[in-house]
Amino acid sequence: MRNLAVALLFALPAALFGWACSLIVFAPPEPPFDWMSQMSVADHDALVAFIDHQYTIAAYAITWAIQLGYLAWLGLRWQAQKRAAGSTASPCRSLPSTNA
């Protein structure tokens, strides 16, 4: 069960990063420089608002991907340290008490 949680912690940031990249790649193109001759101001504003929204969502998704990736890395480091501490038994615990 723990391995599944760690795998999800690694898969989720990768999926978020891929989704954010697809938002940027498949966003509509910026309007041309001479957009006033090709579209109305309302159409231009609607297009630019949609593009800005796509980039904002992509930025948040990348931020979450970085943070969850770091959390997964910390979890793996913590698990490795916990495993290393458990495998090396303290020699003081195995000795009998000499207090008489």
Residue 79: which of 1, 2, 9, 12 has the closest Cα? 2
Instruction: Assess contact for 16 and 68: CB atoms under 8 A.
Output: yes
Identify the pLDDT of residue 60: 92
In this prediction, residue 1 carries a pLDDT of 66
- Residue 14 placed within a domain: no
Q: Per the structure, how many domains does the chain have?
A: 1
Report the alpha-carbon angle 19-23-24, nearest 5.
Answer: 120
Q: Which domain holds residue 62?
A: 43-85
Buried b (16+ CB within 10 A) or exposed e, 32-60: eeeeeeeeeeeeeeebeeebeebeeebee
Whether 90 is in a domain gets the answer no
Residue 18 domain-assigned (yes or no):
no
Distance CA 44, CA 41 (A): 5
pTM to 2 decimal places: 0.61
Distance CA 100, CA 98 (A): 6
pLDDT at site 16: 85
Task: Give the SS3 label for residue 40.
Answer: coil
Q: What are the pLDDT tens digits along the chain (100 aa)?
A: 677 776 777 788 888 888 888 888 887 777 777 777 888 888 888 888 888 888 899 999 999 989 988 888 888 898 889 888 887 755 555 555 566 5
Residue 79 lies in a domain: yes
Domain assignment present for 73: yes
Position 96 scores a pLDDT of: 59
Question: Does any domain span residue 30?
Answer: no
Task: Flag whether 59 is in a domain.
Answer: yes
